[in-house]
Chain A
Amino acid sequence: MAVQTQSTTEDLTDLPPEIAATLQAEPPHPDLELVERAKAGDTSAFEQLVRQYDRQIFRTAQHITQNREDAEDITQDVFFKAFQKLDQFQGNSKFSTWLVRIAVNESLMRLRKRKTSKTVSMDQDVQTDEGSIPRDFAEWRPNPEQNYSQSELAEILRKTIAGLPPGFRTVFTLRDIENLSTEETAEALGLSVPAVKSRLLRARLQLRERLSRYFRKTKEGSK
């Protein structure tokens, strides 16, 4: 009860600048012109879109499937499907979000095929409270990643994220690694905004808990 400011949410000037900015009209996204050209048969325009987003699509697929060959196949399939379904893209969302949604669907389909006995969906493993309450309160070293070589660190990060349920690591990947907004992530995954937020919280907390083993300060206070 320390601050008693009467903030009215209608007043745009009271909002943080990054939120106020999104409420103002934005110019059309440059991708839209490329999409229009591609729809009209210009394959070089489509190739430019592939060039722009192949990395993001590949990483998303690899994070979800945890398999490099699958990620390569999925990346090809995503762009080929997008090309074939280009007329269905109406520009209501960003082109990149539309691509990511196709990539998520393709990746989950791949996972389902591989694990025939287990069902894989965005709703998996969200019923329990497991991992949603922090247990480890150790402080970390100032630049903990510097204690590991690049390849050791990559291995730690891969192993750690691979341990999360697919639904959680997908939300974390889109939101925190690929920098989609909460709304874009929700759209790409066909989830509600609150559902994305709760998965994101759990994903972040579980990763934090697991990384703590590697990054915490040692008892002696040495490096």
Chain B
Amino acid sequence: MLNRDDQIAHEMFQEIQSPDQPRQKVLDSPHLHKLQRMHFLLFDVLPIVGTVCAVALLFFHPVSVVDIALFAVMWILTGLGVSVGYHRLFTHRSFKTTPVVRALFGIFGSMAGQGGVISWTAMHRRHHELGDQDGDLHSPNLHGSGLVGKLKGFVHAHFTWMVAHPYPNVVHYAPDLLRDPVIIWVNRHYYTWIVLGLLAPTLIGALVTQTWMGAVTGFLWGGMVRMFVVEQGIFSLNSLCHLIGRRRFVTDDQSTNISWLAPFIFGESWHHNHHAFPGSASFGLAWYRIDPGYWVICMLSLLGQAWDVKVPTREQISRREIRAS
């Protein structure tokens, strides 16, 4: 079942390409690199600064219940936006859902500040196409051997690759999304969603506490700190989950599973399982592995809001497993 879907996805990528034309799949350009640098400073570096400020402020002003609640709600919404929306739904099409749910996941995913949904999807599909080989935008394994090479690779894959990188051809990698009016609309208003995601906790913090300080700490905890935490989680997939951890299947890449990370990134750190079964809605591949992203899809399915949820059978899984003998 999964294999056929992978085939369809593959054909989808080729759809618009005529066979006699070589197609460029990525482009490096100074114009694009400038945009990437701006995005990096605003949404990758600034949240670190904001988090340092939030922690420093603790010495003068204890964190309030309101701040913790704003952080938790925004963390869960935007984290699921990336894990369930951007990743499992839009990139890998592991289940189907209604236009309203698609819009909500797209909007919450955008608020995480990791790029518009179409760019994110295109880059991530390229990552699966070339995992840990030349052309993978964020492999930690292409920077030489030994401890120094691994360290360099870690820094690149975790953070610095985003400063300036080749940009993927979205018509090649994400033609399906370009045909979805909901996605086009969400994607066009990417920056609006980010601003909304920062404004909402600021306003709620101010209104609930009726103080200016409430606005500041609401912005810091519900905006900056949650953006920082969601990002560090997703960055860890690119770095740690291709460096340390366990493997159980034969795959072309060097992906790994890191169980202790799973509760903090909605089950995403079963990343090796995911590389082995990219079309599966479940990353844990078993009920006893913590996979909150999949649990949300199951809940949606119970409520009639998700269908065609793809999960490989036990037999399909065991067939791929590495045997000791």
Partners in one complex: no
